Structure 1
Amino acid sequence: MKTMMRAAALSLVLAAAAAPAAFAQTAPATGADAVFRATTLNLSAYGETKLAPDMATISLGVSTEAATAQAAMQANATQMNQVMAALKRGGIAAKDIQTSQLSVEPQYVYEQNQPPKLNGYRATNQVTVTVHDLSKLGQAVDATVAGGANQVGGISFGLEDPTAAENAAREKAVKALAAKADLYAKATGHRVLRLVSLNEGSSYSPPQPMPMVAMSARFKEADTAVSPGEVRVRVDISGLYELAR
């Protein structure tokens, strides 16, 4: 009986001693754990292309004042119809003319220590015009000013289809990112093992319109000359690289 009990006790001791060895085995590393244990580079770069624009957008309109809101609107409608006719004569299709603002506001005279005094109404009608043929841009601008447009909000140039320019910028961005990764790797005594992830940020956005004051001064000149220059297409990217010795 005592011999059996001693055997059982010995068996338990051996089992307990074996247990820690079994649990001491390391579980296989997951993908996330492997990334965190690796030496990595988190970098950003950009690519940019420049090319001539093939379209333009103009903001222009008519502002009129009268004693009543109705009279201001009627005068505005008459003058705006002349502007629209001038745009069409300048080769602008109706589909490329879009109303962007239409408003009537009371006008007040303010004097010190006196309540505001109503001084009439101002009606404003603004349109956004898209010009697909830049050779007609100056002609269209001159025609609208001659037709009665007295507000010019600005002009911006752009691309009908920026896809090709964006792709060229992407290729430049990737090359710049890879070159930067190689530089950091060599400087730290490593080599680039692989690209873990790649993210794209912002891409093409057309330039902001020129301010109204500057454009109005230019549009008052005869035979307005318009210089489209170049538009820039930029793509920003970021990437995570894994390094190795």
Structure 2
Amino acid sequence: MNKAKIAALSSIIAASIFCALPAQADDKKPSAYGTLNVVGIGEYEAAPDEAVLNFQISAQEATASAARDKVEAGVSAFLKELSALKLPEGAVIAETLSVSPRFNYKDGKSELAGYQGSRMVSVTLADFTKIGEVTDLAFKSGINEVAGFSYQLKDPKAAQKKARELAIADAKAKAQELADGFEVKLLGPKTMSFELNQGVIMPRTMLMAASMDNSAGSRADYTVDEITIKAQVSVTYNFKAKHE
């Protein structure tokens, strides 16, 4: 190989090394940018303004028509009693009637034992003093089960907004506290996700699967607690070194 080719090759190798060195140095240099993750929690309490009572009547009879008729008679009687309370339209909802066969099983064989009919009636009350009265009317009419009872907010949007605002403020405060502690500057959120707990509460005292023995005169006292609406926001912030 002549001297000219050796000199040219040496120049190329030297240039390659010279160009690679800054890149190698940059790879070892810590980045002035990064991300941090925070979770903000917000809780807002509000007094419930509605009670939802779910009643069910069930009947077991020898024929499907007999089971149906007994259930429908009880529901009709209950609806008639409720009409005297002048509840708002939509406050009372009667679900679809259900009738199904019942079987007894013996020696691996099934035998028709009759039919069971059932129907659910939901009552929404704004006046909590009527809870006991409505329950009494249900048992008087032939309803034989209180299937559920809960308190809720008629329009939860305002309470949900408050909970979200508290969660956002909490996330911002946590992010700023971390940034100050590590002496970096926040650049703004990179990603965000949000969760909300609607907030429905069950009374402390409940009549679950109540029987006809729990008739008028045995009203329970109900403690109305405030509903807690919970919001959670997860945020990833970009940040950079303060003196970058």
CA contact (8 A) 1:154 1:211 kept: no
Q: SS of the counterpart of 2:40? A: strand
1:242 partnered with 2:235: no
Partner of 1:59: 54
Partner of 1:194: 188
1:1-245 map, 5 Å: 38-93=33-88, 95-111=90-106, 113-207=107-201, 214=208, 216=210, 220=214, 222-245=218-241
Shift of 1:208: 6.5
Greater fraction helix: 1
Unaligned runs of 5+ in 2: 1-18, 20-30
Unaligned runs of 5+ in 1: 1-23, 25-35
Q: Given the superposition, is the C-alpha separation of residues 226 and 92 from structure 1 closer, same or farther in structure 2, using an over 3 Å criterion?
A: farther
Distance 1:37 1:99 in 2: 65
Shift of 1:99: 2.6
Q: TM-score, normalised by structure 2?
A: 0.74
Q: Given the superposition, is the C-alpha separation of residues 215 and 47 from structure 1 closer, same or farther in structure 2, using an over 3 Å criterion?
A: farther
Shift of 1:169: 0.9
Percent of residue pairs bearing the same amino acid type: 26
Number of residues of Structure 1 aligned to a counterpart in Structure 2 = 211
CA contact (8 A) 2:45 2:229 kept: yes
Distance 1:199 1:150 in 2: 45
Q: SS of the counterpart of 1:202? A: strand
CA-based RMSD of the aligned residues comes to 3.0
Shift of 1:242: 2.2
Q: Given the superposition, is the C-alpha separation of residues 233 and 61 from structure 1 closer, same or farther in structure 2, using an over 3 Å criterion?
A: same
CA contact (8 A) 2:205 2:222 kept: no
Shift of 1:45: 1.6
CA contact (8 A) 1:66 1:72 kept: yes
